[in-house]
Amino acid sequence: MYRAIAKNKRNTWVLLFIFILLFAAVGLVFGEYTGSGMWGLGIASLVALLLCFGSYYYSDSIVLKATGARPAQKEEYPHLVHSIEGLSIGAGLPAPRLYIIDDPTPNAFATGRNPEKGVVAVTTGLIERLNRTEIEGVLAHEMAHIKNYDTRLATLATVMVGAVVLLSEWIRRSFFFRSMRGRTSSRGRGGHQALIMIVALVISILAPIFAQLLRLAISRRREFLADADGALITRYPEGLASALEKISAEPQKLKNASTATAPLFIINPFRTGGSSKLFSTHPPTGERIKALREM
Half-sphere exposure of 19 (CA within 13 A, CB side): 25
- Catalytic residue at 142? yes
Mean pLDDT, rounded, for 40-65: 70
More confidently predicted of 85 and 18: 85
> Is a pLDDT exceeding 80 seen at residue 160?
no
More confident residue, 241 or 191: 241
Query: Does the pLDDT value for residue 55 go beyond 70?
Result: no
Whether 86 has a pLDDT exceeding 50, the answer reads: yes
- Extract long-range pairs of 261-270: CB within 8 Å, 24+ residues apart: 261/63, 261/66, 261/67, 261/109, 263/154, 263/219, 264/63, 264/109, 264/110, 264/111, 265/107, 265/108, 265/109, 266/107, 266/108, 266/109, 266/138, 266/141, 266/142, 267/107, 269/105, 269/107
More confident residue, 205 or 234: 234
Helix axes 78-91, 190-234, angle to 10 degrees: 110
Q: Where are the domains of the chain?
A: 1-182+192-295
- Considering only residues 250 and 166, tell me which one the structure prediction assigns the higher pLDDT: 250
pLDDT digits 0-9 by tens, 271-288: 655 556 777 889 999 999
Evaluate if residue 245 carries a pLDDT over 60.
Answer: yes
> Could you give the residue ranges of the DSSP H alpha helices within the chain?
2-34, 38-67, 78-91, 124-129, 132-147, 150-181, 190-234, 237-248, 285-293
- Of the candidates 263, 254, 281, which has an alpha carbon nearest to the alpha carbon of residue 67? 254
Q: Which residue has the higher pLDDT, 197 or 242?
A: 242
Considering the entire predicted model, what is its pTM? 0.79
Question: Is residue 184 predicted with pLDDT exceeding 50?
Answer: no
Catalytic choice (32, 85, 128, 142): 142
Residue 54 has pLDDT above 60, yes or no: yes
pLDDT at 137: 97
User: Which H helix or E strand runs over 99?
Assistant: strand 97-101
Whether the predicted pLDDT of 265 surpasses 90: yes
Percent of the chain exceeding pLDDT 90 equals 37
**Which pLDDT band, with edges at 50, 70 and 90, does 186 fall under?**
very low
pLDDT of the residue at 190: 54
